[in-house]
Structure 1
Amino acid sequence: MSYQTTETIQRLWNQFLRDQLAAMPPQERQQYEQQFEDRFGELLKDAADGTGSQDGFLDLVGFGGKGAVPFENISYPYIQPDFDDSIVPSQLHAAAELYYIYQHERMKVFQVVQVLQRLFREGRMRIQRGPGARALYLLDKWKPLRYNQRDRMIAYRRAFNYGRVQAPVGAITNVNFHRQFVGFMVAVSQYFRDLLIGEVIRGGPLIEQRPFGSIGTVQRIGLDLRYALDRSTYGNILALTVETGHYLNEVLKLLDTPDIKKSFDANTKWDVIEMVSNRYLGGIGEPSQRAKMAESGRRILQFIADNDFKTALDPILFQSEMRPMGSHAEAWVAAYRMTPEGRGFSGVTPALRSVLGAQSAVV
């Protein structure tokens, strides 16, 4: 299809769309709006693919079979937008699990296990034949976790810019992760708060038009966050996450064994972590807040990894997809505000304005 013909189609498309939608009942228009938009994109793409982009370039420079071709007869160059799709899903899923592991690192779970191993070797813990004693013996014998604390700290620094360890020279560090992650959480929270206001104003939960919440804000921050994580989680991040994840799962089972809990007069594994942290590690590491941040943060990152944030997505469909994430975002923000680094959190709306670069209103 020539460039001139394509331009004609583009000019006439809006008129065609207006005429078709005007002839439909109002309740059916929304059903077909996105189908028309998708069909328009398919027509442009098929027209360009049919003529061949290489032939169009040769015609442009005058080397084609027809020699110099008038400009209006050159085929239309359709360029497929694929930047948002150029990510490695396995890296993003690994980042979600690594975030979950990081929060348990902040809860001092790995340090607690090291203390238990030392107490077991030194005979300062009255266990000998139970499942906890056997698990500690196997950890000492096989040392299944090859990635030590420094390796994990480097991974956290690379993927999330968390910690004080120096990142390896030449490695990409995701310096904006926390700002973007908090921004995504507050954007989702603000979206559903605005949506709730819209439901109250309109008098019911069934909304047949675009809600007050900004879909574009959520999508933009989500795409930026996904891109930055993809750039920084190459290398050993996937292997480290898989190995450390299995290890974390086993040590949490170890901490829940009856003989370990009995040694510290504990009812749950979290009591063991608290008692060992207070007694040997200088204090507890906010287990209640960190556990919720780990759960909700991982779920949000999994959602970001698997969502393409399509620009022309129907707002009602977007609302349905995002609804389970709303509670996770609110729970994460509530837990984050109770941690030392989150106590200066200014609130959902001010934080969102800061992430988007908006200036505060002058009173």
Structure 2
Amino acid sequence: MSIGTSESLQRLFAQWKREVLAQAQPEHRAELQRQLQQREEELLAKAANGTAGAAFSDLMGLGKDGAPPFESISKPVLVQDFDESVIQTQLHAAAELYFIYQHERMKVFQVAGVLLRLFHDGRIRIQRGPGARALYLMEKHQPLRYKPKDRQLAYRRAFNYGSLTAPRGAVVFRNFHREFIAFTSAIAQYFRDLLIGEVIRGSQALNERPFASQATIQRLGADMRWQLDRATYGNIVALTVEAAEYLKTILDALECADIKKAFDANTKWDVIEVVSQRYLGGTGEISQRSKMADAGRLLLNFAADNPFKTRDFRDFQTEVSPLGPVAEEWIAAYRMTPNGRSFRGVTPTLRTTLGIPGAGASRDLAS
């Protein structure tokens, strides 16, 4: 399709679209506009398909008819596919790795090591029950290829967490914590704005745009998923599968009755707390980290599965609204950790991230 034809088609289609929308019922106008926009993009893409070579040869004057007028040269359509150029398997692995990291901070893996040592030394009074067998199987199911140092390196590469130095040449997502806090805060702010909008309007059924911005969530989410995709290549997927299987084995073992009885515990979390207090110098923020693990994994999986291209605010609202309470839960738990006590609130964090003047320096970078 030539440049002149393409421009004429766009102009006529825009005029026809205005006439159709003017005659449409108000309740159907938004959906009809979305369908017309999609149809226009499809027609232009179909008409320009396969004309890139012809456009170049005509522009250079190498075509069979010589150098045609400029408006007769074929016009290629450039397609923006950046947001889809990620590997979702790696993004889902990053979500699971975040879940595993929070359990690392709860000292779950260290507690397992202590229990195995006590079992070997005969300092824990279990012998023939399910706990004894679980500890035996736990030792057999220890990761064969990826040891604690490998996990620490994975946390550093994907999240820039931990104290180990990343290997030379490895890609590290150095700004993950700040971007994740900003992404979570944007979802929480969107959820709060929706609630305020419903109170002001008196109903959630009114066909008006909600008082909330989806652009911030879309931009932060698209950037974060791209950065995670860059940093989680290599062995991250395999390491996450192996570490997740080992973590499940540990948590199942801690639920055994004879292990809980040996520490006068009611739940596996009590076992983790008692063992951490006795042998590891203190507990690892079990309550807060458990909520951050669950909520953080949900938020990262949402980012992995969403290309953040939805333009219709009602569709976007349907996708994001269930995550509003999840984001609020993560923020509430994070603020109770030593690193999260400097969190300045949802609005100041977003203002700082978006570069709005007067926001002040951000202090939410500690992991």
- Whether TM-score is above 0.5 comes out as yes
Q: CA deviation at 1:64?
A: 2.1
Q: Which amino acid aligns with 1:308?
A: P
Q: CA deviation at 1:35?
A: 0.3
Moved more, 118-127 or 140-149: 140-149
Q: 2:86 is matched with which residue?
A: 87
Q: 2:363 is matched with which residue?
A: none
Q: Which amino acid aligns with 2:124?
A: M
Q: How does 1:333-348 map to 2 (within 5 A)?
A: 333-348=331-346
Q: Does the aligned pair in 1 maintain the 2:51–2:75 contact within 8 Å?
A: no
Match of 1:81, SS state, is coil
Q: CA deviation at 1:164?
A: 1.1
1: CA distance, partners of 2:312 / 2:321 = 14
Q: CA deviation at 1:65?
A: 2.4
Q: 1:46 is matched with which residue?
A: 46
TM-score by length of 2: 0.95
1: CA distance, partners of 2:359 / 2:242 = 49
Q: Does the aligned pair in 2 maintain the 1:256–1:268 contact within 8 Å?
A: yes
2: CA distance, partners of 1:360 / 1:192 = 24
The 1:268/1:161 distance shift into structure 2, 3 A limit, reads same
2: CA distance, partners of 1:321 / 1:177 = 23
Q: 1:318 is matched with which residue?
A: 316
Moved more, 352-361 or 286-295: 352-361
Q: 1:12 is matched with which residue?
A: 12
1: CA distance, partners of 2:90 / 2:273 = 33
Post-superposition CA distance 1:6-57 (Å, at most 9, x none): 11222333322211100111122122010011111112101101x6221121
Say how many residue pairs are matched.
360
Moved more, 236-245 or 20-29: 20-29
Match of 2:64, SS state, is coil
Match of 2:164, SS state, is coil
Moved over 6 A (4+): none
Q: 1:61 is matched with which residue?
A: 60
Q: Which amino acid aligns with 1:298?
A: R
Q: Does the aligned pair in 1 maintain the 2:143–2:243 contact within 8 Å?
A: no
Q: Which amino acid aligns with 2:214?
A: I
The 1:23/1:140 distance shift into structure 2, 3 A limit, reads closer
Question: Which of 327, 330, 333 is residue 328 of structure 2 equivalent to?
Answer: 330
Match of 2:163, SS state, is coil
Q: CA deviation at 1:273?
A: 0.1
Unpaired runs of at least 5, structure 2: 361-367
Q: Which amino acid aligns with 2:72?
A: N
Q: Which amino acid aligns with 2:314?
A: I
Q: Does the aligned pair in 2 maintain the 1:145–1:244 contact within 8 Å?
A: no
TM-score by length of 1: 0.96
Q: 1:218 is matched with which residue?
A: 217
Identity %: 59
Q: 2:364 is matched with which residue?
A: none
2: CA distance, partners of 1:77 / 1:100 = 45
1: CA distance, partners of 2:197 / 2:186 = 16
Q: How does 1:139-288 map to 2 (within 5 A)?
A: 139-141=138-140, 143-288=142-287
2: CA distance, partners of 1:59 / 1:198 = 55
Post-superposition CA distance 1:239-285 (Å, at most 9, x none): 00000001101110001101110110100000000000011001001
2: CA distance, partners of 1:138 / 1:192 = 45
2: CA distance, partners of 1:144 / 1:24 = 63
Post-superposition CA distance 1:189-221 (Å, at most 9, x none): 101111111111111121312211101001000
2: CA distance, partners of 1:209 / 1:59 = 48
Q: 1:129 is matched with which residue?
A: 128
2: CA distance, partners of 1:262 / 1:139 = 19
Q: Which amino acid aligns with 1:68?
A: A
2: CA distance, partners of 1:321 / 1:75 = 39
The 1:130/1:252 distance shift into structure 2, 3 A limit, reads same
Q: Which amino acid aligns with 2:223?
A: D
The 1:76/1:262 distance shift into structure 2, 3 A limit, reads same
RMSD between superposed Cα atoms in Å: 1.4
1: CA distance, partners of 2:141 / 2:206 = 59
Q: Does the aligned pair in 2 maintain the 1:264–1:272 contact within 8 Å?
A: yes
Post-superposition CA distance 1:139-160 (Å, at most 9, x none): 3345445311110000000000
Q: Does the aligned pair in 2 maintain the 1:47–1:76 contact within 8 Å?
A: no
Q: Does the aligned pair in 2 maintain the 1:172–1:231 contact within 8 Å?
A: yes
2: CA distance, partners of 1:138 / 1:197 = 53
Q: Which amino acid aligns with 1:329?
A: A
Unpaired runs of at least 5, structure 1: none
Q: Which amino acid aligns with 1:287?
A: I
Q: Which amino acid aligns with 2:43?
A: L
Q: 1:354 is matched with which residue?
A: 352
Match of 1:276, SS state, is helix
1:106 correspondence with 2:110: no
Q: Does the aligned pair in 2 maintain the 1:292–1:335 contact within 8 Å?
A: yes
